[in-house]
Chain A
Amino acid sequence: MRIALAGQPNCGKSTIFNALAGYKAVTANFPGKTVQYTLSSVTFGGNTFEIVDLPGIYSLTSMDLAEFEARKYILSGKADIVINVVDASLLSRSLEFTIQLMDMDIPMVLCLNMMDEARRKGININAEKLSEILGIPVVETIAVKGQGLGALFSAVRSAFDKNVRGKAPSFHKDVEETIAKLSGFISEEVLRELRVPGRLLSKKLAEGDDFFMKEIERFPHLLNVVRNYQAYIEKTHGRPSDMVISSERHAIAMNIFEEAATVGRPIKTFHDRIDKLIMHRVLGYIFLILVLLGFFSIVFEAGKAIEEPIIAILERLMKSIVETMGEETLISFFAKGIIEGLAGGIGIVLPYLFPFLLGMAVLEDVGYLPRMAFLMDAFMHKIGLHGKSVLPFVLGYGCTVPAIMATRILETPRDRFITAFLATMVPCAARTTIIYGLVAYYIGPWAALFIYVLNLFVIALTGKILTHFMPEVTPGLILEIPSLKMPSINVVLAKTWLRLKEFMFIAWPLLIIGSTVLSFLEYTKGDILINSIMLPLTYVLGLPASVGTTLIFGILRKELSMIMLFQALGTMDVSSVMSREQIMIFTLFVLFYVPCVATIAVLGKELGWKKMSMVSLATLIVACLIALAARVFMAAIRNGL
């Protein structure tokens, strides 16, 4: 049996999924976080189920890619039963989606999640009454605390066995009759071809759903009939047909809500007062800057405290190995390569990565990101985007791959392209470790901060330039701001671990292999060849010729550039071979140049190969310009201008 979790954004689908399937989906307290669906097998009460976590969608009209994908999945018939997860505190709005889902004619269970939040808002729901009206089982849950999940599963089991499909209440008589007449014109052939239940199709056609209108262009007669009925509805109601149908749904939802729920006094919470401060028109921005500065310095201090002792130990270990194995033997080269790779991960990447991911997880879980989108909307318009693009950018500080996938929440291809382009320039955790491990460590925290500010400036400028060629046409920001909540320690730790695991089991082995390969290249003198090919670049940038190889390998994983740097220079103390200026130039170049292989792949998938090549080439040019400008500028300062 395959179960699909469907519901509006941020209603707790992913939380339920994680509670059932172990921690596999990323939750963020930001509407529309799940952009791809996640599948998992779960054994419960002796039965094995497959659960699919669909992206959260507000309605069944395909407004953005995520909505389209989710609708397609349910219509594909791959799921045997749907759990409609609902944020109980937003019941009246959510019911509009529920009654649309019921038209899909698939067994269904309604899960009233976040019951505690509903109670806080003073909403009392009579679940039995609701179940009676809709004709489907209704189960109350508080997924973050794991409450009600057992009952949910039993309800799903029995609804599946009894094939409970329920039926949404009808529209007003005249509208219902018009839709019934329209559906009389939809032949079996059309239904078979489009693979859509008749109930859904007739309503969707009556309201002129873009996707289905396009689909029936193949049946000109039907298209004609549909247009006539739309015109008829518009004439009799004095409003476009889509508005009439949506008002009908709204009215039904409100009626059900009034029958099954009562609204009392909300409990004034501490959250409201915090919200007043952090979304304030002046204080909100001060708070934002403090959050970012605090975040930056905590990660730096924590990372440095861990890095220093570990590096010292590893340096000593290295020396003793070279002494015992001899300087120029193959075995010592291999041992050195492996240890450099191991040491790079333990000593330089992990110390910064762990506090960084932990902090990100906390910010996401409390729900600060949508508030950032609210605060930043006005500024994002200056670079031709709107507040929603903040999410991909912030995610980009963690990893560029999910950042680019998150651009799916944006409405237009133009916004998706520009946001994805700019997101590749945001320093991901890998590049962050380079900024911290090299610049902050050897030059100082202010130099690292300068890099972040410069980076923002370059991104803004690039956005400005792109917008010049692709003018803004977006409807602007429409974003739900979910309630703030206390971060759940379990969720934060689980999420940090999920992302850390990605580094430890995918990136780290790659780092070790990369550094061993470089060791081997050194032994066979192959690195000299690569370095001489790279010489034009390293020469222009004023870098030691031996870093050429590391720049090539950095395309595999950005951290490799740094790990191999230690290897290529033959020391863990970079400052003994490279000047502070060279460290700065190296870091700036690595920060901007061509995204890593994983990013290139996801860019190709999301934007197409042409745009992917464009982004890669453009970032290489930007990197060269910035690094060169930095070289000239620093030389000028050194020579007293």
Chain B
Amino acid sequence: MRVLSDMDEGKRVRVLEIPGGKGARQHLSAYGIHLGDILLIKRQSAWGGPILIEVHGSEVALGRGIASRVQVEEL
């Protein structure tokens, strides 16, 4: 299973699983990220920094911690 933080820039992915508690799920869903949603990897940053994704027309930065938990499949 691959996770969001491993994906290369420019790839499209689908969210398969968001492990962790209700908190993380609700947090992500508030920013428009749900199971089955399609994300575009806009930017990976250096030095273990965050990853920038595009979802439903908005850009969201996700820290390494959470990005390394969201399981995705490449489209």
Name A residues whose Cβ lies closer than 8 Å to a Cβ of B: 58-59, 61, 63, 89-93, 96, 121, 123, 208, 240, 242-243, 246-247, 250, 279, 281-282, 370, 373-375, 377-379, 381, 386-387, 474-483
Given A279-B43, A478-B31, A481-B52, also A373-B61 (CB < 8 A): yes
Report the separation of the CA atoms of residues A367 and B54 in the bound assembly, to the nearest whole angstrom. Answer: 17
Q: Mark B38-70, 1 if CB is under 8 A from A, else 0.
A: 000001111111101001111111111110000
Interface of B: prevailing SS: mixed
Q: Is B24 a contact partner of A281 (Cβ separation < 8 A)?
A: no
A residues near B34, Cβ cutoff 8 Å: 246-247, 250
Q: Which residue of A lies closest to B29 (CB)?
A: A246
| 3 closest residue pairs by CB, A with B | A476-B63, A477-B63, A476-B65
- Cβ-defined contact, A93 with B32, below 8 A: yes
* Interchain CA distance A221-B9 in the complex, whole Å: 52
Asked if A246 and B25 make an inter-chain contact with CB atoms under 8 angstroms apart, the answer reads yes
For A93, what are the chain B residues with a Cβ–Cβ distance below 8 Å? 31-32, 55-58
Task: Check B63–A281 contact: CB distance below 8 A.
Answer: no
Establish whether residues A480 and B57, one from each chain, have CB atoms under 8 Å apart when the complex forms. Answer: no
Q: Is A375 a contact partner of B65 (Cβ separation < 8 A)?
A: no
Question: In the docked arrangement, what's the CA distance between A240 and B26, Å?
Answer: 12
The yes or no answer to B30 lying at the interface (CB within 8 A) is: yes
Complex CA–CA separation, A96 to B32 (angstroms): 9
Q: Are A374 and B30 in contact (CB under 8 A)?
A: no
Interface residue ranges, B against A (CB under 8 Å): 22-32, 34-35, 43-50, 52, 55-66
A613 smallest CB distance to B (angstroms): 32
Minimum CB–CB distance for A70 against chain B, Å: 13
What is the chain B residue whose CB lies nearest that of A92?
A: B56
Contacts of B31 in A (CB 8 A): 58, 93, 478, 480
A536 to chain B minimum Cβ distance, whole angstroms, is 46
Structural contact, A243 and B35, CB atoms closer than 8 A: yes
Looking at the assembled complex, report how far the CB atom of B20 sits from the nearest CB atom of chain A, in whole angstroms.
8
When the two chains form the complex, which single residue of B45, B56, B58, B62 contacts A478, counting CB atoms closer than 8 Å?
A: B62
Contact of B60 with A282 in the complex, beta carbons under 8 Å: no
Cα-based distance from A93 to B52 in the complex (angstroms) = 17
Contacts of A91 in B (CB 8 A): 57
B22 lies within 8 A of A208 (CB): yes
Residue in B25, B45, B59, B66 whose CB lies within 8 Å of A281: B45
> How far apart sit A478 and B45, CA to CA, in the bound complex (Å)?
15
Chain B residue contacts of A240, Cβ below 8 A: 22, 25
Known: A58-B30, A250-B29, A387-B63. A378 touches B57 (CB 8 A): no
Contact, CB under 8 Å: A480 / B50: no
Of A63, A123, A387, A475, the residue contacting B61 (CB under 8 A) is: A387
Check if A375 sits within 8 Å of B45, measured CB to CB.
Answer: yes
- Partner of B26 from the list A63, A281, A374 (CB cut-off 8 Å) is A63
Task: Give bound CA distance, A583 to B15, whole Å.
Answer: 58
Q: Contacts A92-B56, A481-B61: A387 and B26 contacting too (C-beta < 8 A)?
A: no
Task: Assess the A480–B59 pair: CB atoms within 8 A.
Answer: yes
Question: A377 touching B22 by the CB < 8 A rule?
Answer: no
> For the complex, what is the distance from the CA of A398 to the CA of B69, rounded to whole Å?
37
Q: Are B63 and A481 in contact (CB under 8 A)?
A: no
List the A residue with the shortest CB-CB distance to B46: A281
Q: A63-B30, A93-B32, A250-B29 are in contact. List 8 more A-B contacts (CB 8 A).
A: A63-B23, A90-B57, A121-B57, A240-B25, A242-B26, A246-B25, A370-B61, A476-B64
A479 touches B29 (CB 8 A): no
- Quick one: closest A residue to B43, CB to CB? A279
CB-CB under 8 A for A61 and B26, given A378-B49, A481-B52: yes
- B57 to chain A: which residues have CB within 8 Å? 89-93, 121, 123
The chain A residue sitting closest to B55, CB to CB, is: A93
Smallest beta-carbon distance B50→chain A, Å: 5
Report whether A378 and B45 are in contact in the complex, using a CB–CB cutoff of 8 Å. Answer: yes
Task: Give chain B residues whose Cβ lies under 8 Å from the Cβ of A476.
Answer: 50, 62-66
Chain A positions within 8 Å of B65 at CB level: 474-476
B49 to chain A: closest residue by CB? A378
What's the Cα separation between A479 and B25 when bound, in Å? 15
Tell me which of B25, B52, B56, B63 contacts A242 (CB under 8 A). B25
CA distance A190 to B29 in the complex (A): 29
- Contact indicator B22/A475 (Cβ below 8 Å): no
Give which listed residue, A59, A89, A475, A482, contacts B30 with CB less than 8 A: A59
Q: How far is the CA of A90 from the CA of B57 in the complex (A)?
A: 6
Cβ contacts under 8 Å, A61 to chain B: 26, 30
Residue of A nearest to B53 (CB): A481
Q: A373-B61, A387-B63, A477-B63 are in contact. Are A243 and B49 (CB under 8 A)?
A: no
20 contacts between A and B (CB under 8 A): A92-B32, A246-B34, A281-B43, A374-B52, A377-B45, A387-B63, A475-B27, A475-B63, A475-B66, A476-B65, A476-B66, A477-B50, A478-B60, A478-B61, A478-B62, A478-B66, A479-B60, A480-B60, A482-B59, A483-B59
| Chain B residues in 8 Å Cβ range of A279 | 43, 45, 52
Known contacts A247-B35, A282-B46, A378-B47: does B26 contact A59 (CB below 8 Å)?
Answer: yes
